[in-house]
Amino acid sequence: MKVLVAVKRVIDYNVKIRVKADHSDVDLTNVKMAMNPFCEIAVEEAVRLKEKGIASEIVAVTVGPKAAQEQLRTALALGADRAIHVATDERVESLAVAKLLKRVADEEQPQLVILGKQAIDTDNNQTGQMLAALTGWGQGTFASKVDVKDGTVDVTREIDGGLQTVALKLPAVVTTDLRLNEPRYAKLPDIMKAKKKPLDTKTPEELGVDIASKVTQLQVETPAERKGGIKVGSVDELVDKLKNEAKVIS
Amino acid sequence: MSILVIAEHHNGQLAESTAHVVAAAQAIGGDIEILVAGESVAGVAESAAKLTGVSKVRVADDGVYAHQLAEPTAELIAGLADDYSHVLAAASTQGKNVMPRVAALKDVAALSEVIGVESPDTFLRPIYAGNAIATVQSSDALKVITVRTTAFDAVDATGSAEVESVNATVENTLSQFVSEELASSDRPELGSARVVVSGGRGMGNGENFKLLDGIADKLGAAIGASRAAVDAGFVPNDMQVGQTGKIVAPELYIAVGISGAIQHLAGMKDAKVIVAINKDEEAPIFQVADYGLVGDLFEVLPELESKL
């Protein structure tokens, strides 16, 4: 079966972000960018499905500026067979990304779409669920285990109290949680080979999707700083401070 | 303006989170109704009807809503949504699973993890692991929102709303519940505990987490963990505090053997008082801690327990 994997280019998770002086957004000039960590897990899962002989072809897709092709090349180096870049320099919100992915899914007819559970920039946690709604497919969000069967997929999900397993009719949408797998690193020969793999570019217009959003980001602020704390010298002093100064224990 | 709050419930009990979401609905302002969807949920509806400020509780009691799977639940909510200007749910795994699906079915944006209400169409939400706060305005006719419950104080239970049943039939051919494996705990729920004691990689192994039990018992605290401790297999993942785990904002957060990585801080830096116990005095956790104690946790924890 064919697997479609969506990946996103985001700020590297180790970077300490800065808000722009005019408070319009976070400053992304000259910061290190990378594939969203949850998307790496999605790619890894697709590659493992191929290694098990379950997936026959893996198509990686991204929505974003030209530079996002780097992340597609990474996905290709990790084992994706070909890539689709939906090119736009606009800010694209989750609903529009889901609509674009729906169009790609219409064309590609995958049996399984794997996405990360959330991107670490917007922290939305929406796109996979929205894609499932638009395609009319079942959704297995926050997956920690994916077990493809004949015509269905069992997805074990990380929920607040523990784990829940659901069976979804294929085709279906799965979003990855951290414990699904440990992503591999791309090897140098694979990185070289990835440069020769097919990468198609499309535009939102070609796909017939209006990406204008009804949500406007009015302002971005740095959160209130916590006041500098103190170091205490002993357990006695700590207990005394908590009782008499902070008054959080009695 | 009417607001629909989606009740969260487990095992026939209304979850504490729902009272926080009602508080967020009050901040938006308007007539507040609650939807209880599930199987055998009369008791949940009764509890929901007592929440202050709620005018009506609508109950969809049917086997198809058992385990509140996303596909039928979202279809039910989308079918009712035209009566409302806002649909709100807690930003729990349940709310996050269902609400974006509802939004897409209604062709509107979803606003995740809202922490503040500026006006009925303008909201505050954290981005970049809580390292920036965005003010966002939605011009959609319907606002679909998940609420970070720790940002709103729960409403009381002084109300007596009317309860009516919803006559909507939804079929689900897409998904089936298979099984559930829930962690059992007698302690307060991590998301709503007044005190949280968390352990990190510095705990060394799962057995050592028992060192936190006595302190948690004395303080009535929930026990949490960093991702490092979960990934090392010390404790199950539902104990994880952080960007990818639970967001907590207790009165007191005690971080033991936790270095304080960005993704962990995103889950706890809104605690009122933070205490850090770590042997590395350079650990970033000390930059956010109100009280830091540099020392070996294996010496500090037993002493702390005996002195509480």
Chain segment A1-59, per-residue pLDDT in tens: 999 999 999 999 888 899 999 999 999 999 999 999 999 999 999 999 999 999 999 99
Q: What is the mean pLDDT of the segment spanning B25-38?
A: 98
Whether B273 and A246 lie within 8 Å, measured CB to CB: yes
pLDDT greater at residue B110 or residue A228 = B110
Cβ under 8 Å to B: A residues 92-111: 93-95, 98
Residue B139 is predicted with a pLDDT of 97
Q: Which CATH code is given to the segment(s) A2-245?
A: 3.40.50.620
Contact yes or no for A137/A153 (Cβ under 8 A): no
Q: Tokens in use for B245?
A: 């785990």
Q: Work out the average pLDDT over B65-94.
A: 97
Give B305 to chain A, closest Cα distance, Å. 10
Summarize the confidence of residues B233-250 as an average pLDDT: 91
User: Is A33 an 8 Å CB contact of chain B?
Assistant: no
Question: Is the CB of B292 less than 8 angstroms away from the CB of A230?
Answer: yes
Q: Which amino acid, residue B68?
A: Q
Question: What's residue B182's pLDDT?
Answer: 87
Residues 191-250 of B with CB under 8 A from A: 191, 195, 219, 227, 230-231, 236-238, 243-244, 246
Q: B12: phi > 0 → left, psi -120 to 50 → alpha, else beta; which?
A: left
Structural tokens at position A83:
């890539």
Least CA distance to A23: which residue of chain B?
B134
pLDDT digits (tens, 9 = 90+) for B3-12: 999 999 999 9
Identify the residue among B215, B231, B273 best suited for mutation to test binding to A, counting A beta carbons within 10 A and taking the highest. Answer: B273
Higher pLDDT: B150 or B6? It is B6
Nearest to B86 by CA among B34, B154, B141: B141
Residue A32, number of CB atoms within 10 A of its CB: 9
The answer to whether the pTM exceeds 0.80 is yes
Q: Is the pLDDT of residue B175 over 80?
A: yes
Q: Per this entry, what is the length of chain A?
A: 250
- Residue A117 neighbours by CB under 8 Å, 6+ apart: A38, A125, A128, A141, A142, A143, A175, A176, A177, B244
Mutate to test the interface with A, among B99, B127, B278, B298 (most CBs of A within 10 A): B127
Distance from CA of B41 to the nearest CA of A (A): 19
Residue A250, pLDDT score: 82
Q: What's the pLDDT at B115?
A: 97
Cβ separation of A178 and B227 shorter than 8 Å? yes
Q: Is the Cβ of B171 closer than 8 Å to some Cβ of chain A?
A: no
Task: Out of B122, B131, B273, name the one closest to residue A17 (CB).
Answer: B131
By C-alpha distance, which of B49, B140, B53, B54 is closest to B102? B140
Which pLDDT value is given to residue B155? 97
The DSSP symbol for B7 reads P
Q: Supply the pLDDT for residue B168.
A: 83
CA–CA separation, B257 and B269 (whole Å)? 16
CB contact under 8 A, A123 and B128: yes
Q: Which residues in A158-175 are b (16+ Cβ under 10 Å) and which e?
A: bbbbbbbbbbbebbbbbb
Distance from CA of A111 to the nearest CA of B (A): 14
pLDDT of residue A206: 97
Contact A11, A17 (CB under 8 A): yes
**Torsion sign (Cα): B263, B267, B271, B273:** negative
Distance CA B285, CA B181 (A): 33
**CB B252 to CB A249 under 8 A?**
yes
In three-state secondary structure terms, B145 is strand
Q: Which two tokens stand for residue B215?
A: 């302190």
| Better-scored residue on pLDDT, B246 or A66 | A66
The gap between the terminal CA atoms of chain B, to the nearest Å, is: 50
Res B183: pLDDT: 78
ipTM of the complex in this document: 0.95
Instruction: Give the other-Cβ count within 10 Å of A142's Cβ.
Output: 27
Distance CA A52, CA B100 (A): 32
Please provide the average confidence, as pLDDT, over all residues in chain B: 95
Q: For residue B68, what is the DSSP state?
A: G
Q: What is the pLDDT of residue B191?
A: 83
**Residue-wise pLDDT tens digits, B100-112:** 999 999 999 999 9
Residues 6+ apart with CB under 8 A from B22: B5, B32, B34, B51, B52, B53, B54, B154, B155
Q: Which residues in chain B are contacts of A122 at CB distance < 8 A?
A: 127
B5, two tokens:
């709050």
Mean pLDDT across chain A: 96
Chain A residues with CB-CB distance to B130 below 8 A:
223
How many pairs of residues across A and B have Cβ atoms under 8 Å apart?
A: 251
- The 10s digit of each residue's pLDDT in A111-123 is 999 999 999 999 9
Domain ranges of chain A: 2-245
Token pair, residue A69, equals: 């092709």
> Which tokens belong to B84?
């409302």
Query: Cβ of A226 and B274 within 8 Å?
Result: yes
CB contacts, 8 Å: B179 with chain A: 164-165
Three-class SS state of B223? strand
Measure in Å the smallest separation between the Cα of A203 and chain B Cα atoms.
21
Within an 8 Å CB–CB cutoff, is residue A129 touching chain B? yes
* pLDDT given at position A186: 95
What is the model's pLDDT at position A143? 98
What is the mean pLDDT of the segment spanning A154-181? Answer: 95
Pick from A33, A120, A129, A244 the residue to mutate for testing the B interface (most B CBs within 10 Å): A129
Asked if A220's CB is within 8 angstroms of B127's CB, the reply is yes
Which DSSP string corresponds to B167-195? -------SEEEEEEEEPP-SSPPGGG-SE
From residue A56, give the alpha-carbon distance in Å to each of A112, A135, B174.
11, 22, 24
Query: Least CB-CB distance to B133: which of A131, A164, A221?
Result: A221
The mean per-residue pLDDT over the stretch B135-143 comes to 98
Residue B127's pLDDT band, with cuts at 50, 70 and 90, is very high
Task: Give residue-wise pLDDT tens across range B190-227.
Answer: 888 999 999 999 999 999 999 999 999 999 999 999 99
Report whether pLDDT(B244) > 90. no
Diameter of chain B measured on Cα atoms: 61
In 3D space, the residue among A232, A17, A14 whose CA is nearest the CA of residue B254 turns out to be A232
Cβ neighbours of A161 in B, within 8 Å? 10, 182-183, 238
The pLDDT value given to residue B185: 74
Question: Could you read off the pLDDT of A62-86 as tens digits, one per residue?
Answer: 999 999 999 999 999 999 999 999 9
CA distance A193 to chain B (A): 33
Question: Among partner residues A131, A178, A230, which is closest to B244 by beta-carbon distance?
Answer: A178
In order of their start, the domains of chain B are 2-165 (3.40.50.620), 190-307 (3.40.50.1220)
Q: Is the pLDDT of residue B61 over 80?
A: yes
Residue written as token pair 């790609």: A104
Contacts of B125 (CB under 8 A, 6+ apart): B111, B112, B113, B114, B115, B133, B134, B136
Element (H, E) at B74: helix B70-80
Chain A residue numbers with beta carbons less than 8 Å from the beta carbon of B191 are 160
